[in-house]
A and B are shown apart, each in its own frame.
Chain A
Amino acid sequence: DIQMTQSPSSLSASVGDRVTITCRASQSISSYLNWYQQKPGKAPKVLIYAASSLQSGVPSRFSGSGSGSEFTLTITSLQPEDFATYYCQQTYMTPPFTFGPGTKVDIK
């Protein structure tokens, strides 16, 4: 099975900051990589799919990049509603479609 790692596991940032989260796969997964945002007590919400495609309705301050085994989620100007936990997920070939361990973004 493909294993996913994320760094950092948590970060503290201020409103307006640029935030970057990295996700690595244990093997090449081409661009089969999604990013989700989850707030406490809520279901995850997809932000980015296919590594760099913005899900409909998601603000353009979110962007994704990468291919192969290393990927990045960037939030260009952090907003108060962006404080949450972010997960990457690989959907390469057949299941299991594993998630990364998550990155918690909180207020500095």
Chain B
Amino acid sequence: QVQLVESGGGVVQPGRSLRLSCAASGFTFSTYAMHWVRQAPGKGLEWVAVMSYDGGNKYYADSVKGRFTISRDNSKNTLYLQMDSLRAEDTAVYYCARREAVGPNVRFDNWGQGTLVTVSS
């Protein structure tokens, strides 16, 4: 079955960096675009970034553009999120999610369990 497992979260000081990983199994990772979505404590869902199946295309939310970098290693079935210049407002649970598409209709059909990032001095 499809499994997505995030790791790399923790407590980090403002201005520092952190790299999240999302290990995928149970499907052909190299054929799916993958997303990061975050959720601040007690708040709603915020889309963060997406990378195409081959790494050729990537998009970011304005709130993280220029500070976060999404990447993937299809040989390791792993998605990454490099987070630099972290701010208190980046504190959230970070989920990776698989993009499924039926024609032009996109949905996030599988999600990981999330990893908590806390930015605090």
Contacts and interface: CB of A to CB of B under 8 A. Distances in A.
Please classify the interface of chain A as helix (H, G, I), strand (E, B), loop, or mixed, using the class held by over half of its residues: loop
B56 interface: no
B61 A49 contact: no
Interface stretch (B21-29, B72-80, B83-91, B110-118): B110-118
Contacts, number: 67
A99 B47 contact: yes
B56 to A, nearest CB: 14
Nearest to B96: A43
Interface string B13-52: 0000000000000000000000101000000111100100
A100 B102 contact: no
B105 A50 contact: yes
Contacts of B111: 43-45
Contact of A102 (B45, B102, B104, B108): B45
Interface string B55-68: 00001111000000
A97 B46 CA distance: 9
Nearest to B114: A43
Interface residues of A, number: 26
A85 to B, nearest CB: 8
Interface stretch (A16-24, A67-75, A88-96): A88-96
A3 interface: no
A32 B106 contact: yes
A95 B37 CA distance: 12
Nearest to B48: A96
Contacts of A63: none
A99 B46 contact: yes
A45 to B, nearest CB: 8
B107 A49 contact: yes
B47 A43 contact: no
Interface of B: 35, 37, 44-47, 50, 59-62, 95, 102, 104-109, 111-114
